[in-house]
Structure 1
Amino acid sequence: MLSNKRILLVIGGGIAAFKSLDLIRRLREQGASVAPVLTRAGEQFVTPLSVAALSGAKLHRDLFDLTEEAEMGHIQLSRSADLIVVAPATADLMAKMATGRADDLASTLLLATDTPVLIAPAMNVRMWQHAATQRNIATLRADGIAFVGPNDGDMACGEHGPGRMAEPAEILAAIKTALTAGPLAGKHILVTSGPTHEPIDPVRYIANRSSGAQGTALAAALRDLGANVTFITGPASVPAPTGVTVVRVETAVQMLAAVQSALPADAAIFVAAVADWRVANAAASKLKKDGSGKAPPLEFTENPDILATLSKMGAGRPTLVVGFAAETDNVLAHATAKRLRKGCDWIVANDVSPERGIMGGTENAVTLITDAGSDVWPRLPKSQVARRLAAKIADTLRG
């Protein structure tokens, strides 16, 4: 699939740079040629010799190489590739890209290019979550930059959370997707998935039976059509798909914040089974029986309405907003009313009565409700429901 494809690989300065060596090997095994660009910071983590040896190509390091710059080498280098991949993309490199700085070879060729760019961020969790980095992410997404990762995980600094660079196999899958001009190429789509967990105390929570299977399948189907997918997931039992940007949350409040941070987007698909209520007086310590036979009083408050918030946000609203309605009775009536009440474009309704085996199962039977009316789909594996819905989303966004 990558035979004769030309990849320009920019290696930034982070401990995750060692993964770039494995990525080079995998790309060449797939038939791609790799032109490596190693930043000065990147040289602190991988050696120029190892990068050059694995790529089998000249290593580019210096903006002011007199031989190359006599022929405007950085311009040619930036435009001769089929895809530019930045792995790892550090906070510094992302900041340069977002603000148009060009003070070294890597940032200059990224500013001078008209070639598609895919970045694999890698940084400390606090750096990733910092408001400045989040602003830069929004700018880069709006500029059409594709992302793969970062993942949650343990980091070299000893902290845990989002910021760990995607694995080479995930980046390779994202490269293949980026080089396949699907109908959703260049589109950024948000997908929420899984349940939310609303704490009662540090060890107990309120949740539901959602496995995250349908949201995961939809994110993968949209990815396969070329979309740049941000996958915001609660604590699901089904693993997140590869080749998408994964954001893990626990609560509804966290999910709303993650959705808002991921904007702008062309479409937002809310598959997650978000808890309607949370415990307002959640205990800081584990609640214990006191022998009285009385349960501790729990005070509930409504969670934010993520679907309604995005549907009614005005400026910056995604072109297409889709909600899911998991009902146990009067499914069509409740779902139709929900679409109007929330203000979304479509509602995907399904009957999750226990005897149906939908929630937590491998199949789904849905009705798609739009302005045009309702369309009843047959019971299908969730992967097929996802592909059918993804195709309809692609048709709509293409106009």
Structure 2
Amino acid sequence: MIDPLPPKPVPRRQRLRRGRDRLATALITAGGIGVVVAVMAIGVFLALEVVPLFLAEDPQVSWRGLWLPQPIEGHELPQHRWQPDTLTAEESPRYGMAPLVWGTLKAAFWALLFAVPLALGAAVHSATFMSRRLRTRLKPTLELMEALPGVVIGFVAGLVLAPWVERHLAGAFSLVAVLPLGMLLAGLLWSRLPASLAQRLPPGWAGLWLMPWLALLVILSLWLSPWLEARVFGGDLRGWLEAALGLDYASRNALIVGLAMGFAVIPGIYALAEDALSGVPPSLGEGAQALGATRWQTLWKVVLPAAGPGIFSAVMIGAGRAVGETMIVLMASGNTALMTLSPLEGMRSMAASIAIELPEAAPGGTHYRLLFLAALLLFVFTFLVNTLAELVRMRLRHRYRRLGRGA
């Protein structure tokens, strides 16, 4: 009977490498578990701070009353009002959460309305049409925009953009109307160019050769807007909006917030959507074109449906960022708790109210706990949105893996 050979001793260097790998794995696992525990602990802490608000049976606060209009002196109909501070001792505070939720959703809506078309359009062009040389330079630049602090963007929006728009209201409105139409006109003119000239302006470099055209449109819009305002609106567009449409223009309004917050949200949506589009297996597009589909048909019928979950995830994460943004709304919205549909009036978001009022709220009081309720609502919304986005992203990854095996 032959004795088995004794196991060879493991070299010392290999033992050290295995030890480092195990230590790194343990640290990464502990860090991930710690993040999950920290997030859940934040939610539990906020919930514990809010529960006493409804156990105290305060006559001023009830869950139903927080969302319904309240009777207010001087108004025939009940009004939604957030007024925690009173000017006189006879007045009572008004705690209505509806204006804060409305302002939060209103700011996020206008931000996404501005950011989603630009971010998704840039992602589609970058992933499918842009030349590789230009893409390697442009994509990191757009992604670096996400590093801009929100306070800087809010500072520029509140102190530079808002006064400029107020002074050049007609010019700003003309830019909003002219630039999208100018882009469509540029595409139409390019499609009608002779083949020899169109080859000198390839779609992959449209991000560069469109710049002079857009600059010309901006100059013409700002130059012609005073004349158009004088001829059409009697020289006072702001007065015409108030007299004809009943719209009161505030210097810091939802449009200013939408432009500033949209600028902050664009890089995140662009990066995630571009990764989703670039991750679609090339065999899908090549197969569609081999069957006779054009590049546009391939994009619309094949690439976009395959990358749909990733694009949806990008938009959801952008919505979560817009809802939770604080400094931009704080500095560019006017912080007036109004419930109006007009984009020319201000609003007050839950995040801005927490930042402004929490340092002055009495700990343990009604106002203090209502601010924690606003924080809890923001936490739940952001958690649900990010969870949904992550589930959709996992579905997309599974789909790509399955398509890759099928190819």
In our comparison, the structure showing a higher alpha carbon Rg is: 2
Greater share of strand residues, 1 or 2?
A: 1
Which structure has more relative contact order (CA 8 Å, sep 6+)? It is 2
Name the TM-score class by shorter chain. under 0.3
TM-score, length basis structure 1: 0.22
TM-score, length basis structure 2: 0.22
